[in-house]
Structure 1
């Protein structure tokens, strides 16, 4: 039985004390945002699902060691991001096969066709997601958490386990690279070289009709 009135901390403590429903309720409460971070960090739904599963198993087992130094949701996000970065590094060690058109796929796996004639906002969001996938993992994770998910820099610093200045630096470098990759968006209005334009585009990746659902 679940009790939505319990706080995250209470649910985690209840899980540690043997409540068999508490952790599932905690996960369901934050599932959508954790999934969004995973799928956007890895840009692959299967990899994201595996990373999220790895992270939840880790959190389930490590709950008793949670010291309360941060919010429970921050702790969960940190575990998910670390699981994603671990998978991304392993994926680099076993790269997929590049196709002539630049698409990458695994051997013997069919390539899915892109949807035809998307709306401008949808098209922009897809462009941003593809551009994000070209960034180094650390920059991508910082940008997704700050610009796409909307977390404060201070909280992202805790999630990533780095200084706030490092988060700002990673975001700045990532935005600069996105501004170059997304230069074609100039035709859709605005100056893509500005940080504001890049942040607007990444916000569209969050609000346009491309929200990933597991």
Structure 2
């Protein structure tokens, strides 16, 4: 992929910041060498947050985001304007995450990898309470099927409405509700020790309000 330059002239960058995502994508398709860089700058942090919370592994998340942007760059002409550009991008990154999760689920895992994962996911005794809660929830999410995990991340951790999450996942809103309900039911006994801290059972509550800020 021929990546567009990272740093267009300041005045040009300021002008682009006022342009809509859809117009930037159109400019990219038309050959503007800087348009896609602006799209990346606008959305990379949010896409990274979705990928990290879905996969629970920074390296995997970084690879998923990179794959997603490469895919979006190459397939920009497939965007039909039926949803917002941000929804289209998040659908691509979620699909990249789900692909990685499915590939990992069928790959045999060696004993030393299991030990390493357990040590990585275990909360450290000297860490702050919020950090421990975050690690607890991240570890618990890994027991969920990929579709339930993706739905919970979008709705309970990223603050998406059910309808917006349905747009990202490409499924009916009722399916998102069902996946969230089943995922919460599975997590409830695993995270029961967190109820004493918040008195609430939703994943978003256990993680803390800051996760809704992306």
Is the Cα–Cα contact under 8 Å of residues 159 and 212 in structure 2 kept in the other structure?
no
C-alpha displacement at 1:202, in angstroms? Answer: 3.8
Deviations 1:142-195 (A, max 9, x none): 000011111111111111111100000000111111111101223435254xxx
1:173 pairs with one of 182, 185, 193 = 182
TM-score (norm 1): 0.84
SS for the counterpart of 1:11 is helix
Is the Cα–Cα contact under 8 Å of residues 128 and 202 in structure 1 kept in the other structure?
yes
The correspondence of residues 1-214 of structure 1 with structure 2, limited to 5 A, is 1=8, 2=13, 3-99=16-112, 103-105=115-117, 115-190=124-199, 192=201, 197-204=202-209, 206=211
Cα distance 1:39–1:95, how it changes in 2: closer, same or farther (>3 A)? farther
TM-align CA RMSD = 2.4
SS for the counterpart of 1:70 is coil
Aligned partners of 2:108, 2:50: CA distance in 1, in Å?
A: 22
The higher-RCO structure (CA 8 Å, 6+ apart) is 1
Aligned partners of 1:203, 1:24: CA distance in 2, in Å?
A: 32
Gaps of 5+ in 1: none
Aligned partners of 1:176, 1:170: CA distance in 2, in Å?
A: 10
SS for the counterpart of 1:122 is helix
Gaps of 5+ in 2: 1-7
TM-score (norm 2): 0.84
More helix by share: 2
Aligned structure 1 segments of 4 or more residues deviating by more than 2 angstroms: 95-100, 102-105, 110-116, 186-189, 202-205
Deviations 1:113-144 (A, max 9, x none): 85441222221122111111221110010000
